Amino acid sequence: MQLQWSEACERNKGPILEVLEAELKAPLTVLEIGSGTGQHAVYFSQQLPHLRWQPSDQGEYLAGLCARVEQEGGDNLLPPVALDVLRASWPDEARRAEAVFSANTLHIMSWPAVVATFAGVGELLAPGQWFLSYGPFSEDGSAQQRQ
């Protein structure tokens, strides 16, 4: 299977890694929502070996994600799981996470899916645990870029 490639993943992985390194210092399991091509999952799990990285995506995108994880993944990169944020019950593998990461997903989700994501993450994480999201955001209708 030819693996899918995202140029955006390659461009933004360095700046995202800097934040992940600074914030996720303790060993823990990170659920990645919307892992897509799996490039971030592979790269971050390689660069942050103290983390167990749990990639996920909707069922129709799992084949490519599983292929990349199988070909390029290491010991701390867990097998991908199917996760539809709109489902009331998230899979057990996702529920083991102690931090959640998502890149370039919220702005392409439907509004009900965004609301469901925040509700699911709110149920999953305890106070003091991390939800880290990367992507374009707007404030009062205008695009904002934050460091």
Residue 123, domain member (yes or no): yes
Which comes out higher in pLDDT, residue 2 or 98? 98
Residue 10 lies in a domain: no
Please report whether residue 113 resides in a domain: yes
The CATH number that applies at residue 51 is 3.40.50.150
Task: For 121-134, write each residue's pLDDT tens digit.
Answer: 999 999 999 999 99
How many domains in the chain? 1
Reported as a single tens digit per residue, the pLDDT across 33-62 is: 999 999 999 999 999 999 999 999 999 999
What is the domain range of residue 125?
Answer: 24-134
Q: How far is 85 from 118, CA to CA, in rounded Å?
A: 9
Nearest to 99 by CA among 8, 38, 21, 46: 21
User: What SS3 state is found at 29?
Assistant: strand
Residue 100 in domain: yes
Q: Does some domain include residue 95?
A: yes
Q: Flag whether 139 is in a domain.
A: no
pLDDT of residue 147 exceeding 60: no
Strand partners, 99: 30, 130
Question: For residue 17, is it within any domain?
Answer: no
Q: Is 7 exposed, middle or buried (0-12, 13-18, 19+ CB in 10 A)?
A: exposed
Does the pTM surpass 0.85? The reply is yes
- Structure confidence at residue 84 as a pLDDT band (50, 70, 90): very high
Residue 144: pLDDT band (50, 70, 90) is low
